[in-house]
Amino acid sequence: MNNKPIGVFDSGIGGLTVYKALKDKMPYESTIYLGDTARLPYGSKSAETIIKFSEENAQFLLNKKVKLIVIACNSSSSYAVAYLQNKLDIPVIGVIEPGAEEAVKYSKGKIGVVGTTATISSKAYEKAIIEKNPDIEIITRDCPLFVPLVEEGWIEHKVTKLVIEEYLLPLKEQGIDSLVLGCTHYPVLKDEISNIIGREIRLIDSGKTTAEKVYSILKNFAWLNNSKKQGEDEFYVSDFPERFRKVGEIFLKRNIEKVSIANI
Ligand code: DGL
C-alpha cells in the first residue's frame, strides 16, 4: 500500500485547497486528483445525482489503484461519505467532520457556515457541530455564486467583492465569531473574505484538519510512503483541462505540467 497514491476528487478546482494541505503535510505521498468539471457545479444538484457522480468519481480513482480516497468536496461529503465508506474496501474521508471539529475548537458561541445550496440544505455541518457542542448557535447561508467566480479565476475582481459583501456582511452583523468555509472552492477567496468581514472573524477551512486525519489513518495502517522522495501527482478533469490548469496554477502558485481528460 505504501507506494500507492492518495485519490482526491471534487467537482472542479476547489479540491485543490485540500490537495495543497495534503501535500504540505505529506510531501512524499503521490496523488491522483480528479475534478469533475464537465458536471460542475455539484452544489445545485440533488442528493441522488451527487451520490451517483461521487460513486463514478470514486470508481475512476479505484481504477488508478489509490489507497485512500479524500472527498475534497463538501457537497459530495454531505451526501455520499457514508455511502462510499460502506461500499468501498479502502478508507474514505470527507471534509465535513474535520471542518466541524476545527470550528468547535475555536468558536466562543456563534458560528457562521457558508456552502453550496446542496451542503447547506443537507444540514450536515449543523449536525456535526451540534453533536460536538450543543450550545453553539449556528447561522447558515448558501452562496451559489462563489463557485463560478472561483472557476472563472475572478479572485481579486470587483464583482467578487460585491458578491462577498452581499452574502457575508449580514452574517457579520449577526455577530458570528467564526465562519466555516463549507465549500472547498471558498478558501481560494480567503484573503478577499477576510478583507471584507474583518480579520477578527476566524475563517475555518477543513483542508488542514482533513490532511491531519488522512495522515493519522495512513500512519495507523503503516501505509505512509517512506521513500523520502517527492511524491508524484496526476491531475484529471472530465472537461476543459486547459482552464483547470490556468486557474489551478494561479491558486497553487506553481506550474501544473499536465492535466488529462478523465472519461468518467
Ligand atoms: N467544491 C465543492 C464543495 O465543496 C463543490 C462546488 C460545486 O460544484 O458546487 O461543495
41 Cβ below 6 A of ligand 1 = yes
Domain boundaries, the chain: 6-95+208-261, 96-206
Does the pLDDT at position 69 exceed 90? yes
75 Cβ below 6 A of ligand 1 = yes
Does the pLDDT at position 228 exceed 90? no
Active-site residue list: 73, 183
Three-class HEC string of the chain:
CCCCCEEEEECCCCCHHHHHHHHHHCCCCCEEEEECCCCCCCCCCCHHHHHHHHHHHHHHHHHCCCCEEEECCHHHHHHHHHHHHHHCCCCEECCHHHHHHHHHHHCCCEEEEEECHHHHHHCHHHHHHHHHCCCCEEEEEECCCHHHHHHCCCCCCHHHHHHHHHHHHHHHHCCCCEEEEECCCHHHHHHHHHHHHCCCCEEECCHHHHHHHHHHHHHHCCCCCCCCCCCCEEEEECCCHHHHHHHHHHHHCCCCCCEEECCC
Q: How confident is the model at residue 79 (pLDDT cuts 50, 70, 90)?
A: very high
pLDDT digits (tens, 9 = 90+) for 82-117: 999 999 999 999 999 999 999 999 898 999 999 999
Note whether 6-95+208-261 and 96-206 share their fold.
yes
- Cis amide linkage into residue 27, ω under 30° from 0: no
78 Cβ below 6 A of ligand 1 = no
- Position 148, amino acid: P
- Contact at 8 Å (CB) between 226 and 202? no
For residue 180, the CA-to-ligand 1 centroid distance in Å is 14
42 Cβ below 6 A of ligand 1 = yes
Does the pLDDT at position 64 exceed 90? yes
Q: Does 96-206 carry CATH code 3.40.50.720?
A: no
For the segment 40-52, the average pLDDT, to the nearest whole number, is 97
pLDDT digits (tens, 9 = 90+) for 175-186: 999 999 999 999
- What is residue 221's predicted lDDT score, i.e. its pLDDT? 97
Does the pLDDT at position 1 exceed 90? no
- What is residue 41's predicted lDDT score, i.e. its pLDDT? 95
Query: What is the domain class of 6-95+208-261 according to CATH?
Result: alpha beta
- What is residue 31's predicted lDDT score, i.e. its pLDDT? 98
Q: How confident is the model at residue 2 (pLDDT cuts 50, 70, 90)?
A: confident
For residue 230, the CA-to-ligand 1 centroid distance in Å is 29
- What is residue 251's predicted lDDT score, i.e. its pLDDT? 87
Reported pTM: 0.95
For the segment 189-210, the average pLDDT, to the nearest whole number, is 96
pLDDT digits (tens, 9 = 90+) for 112-145: 999 999 999 999 999 999 999 999 999 999 999 9
- What is residue 70's predicted lDDT score, i.e. its pLDDT? 98
- What is residue 108's predicted lDDT score, i.e. its pLDDT? 86
For residue 38, the CA-to-ligand 1 centroid distance in Å is 13
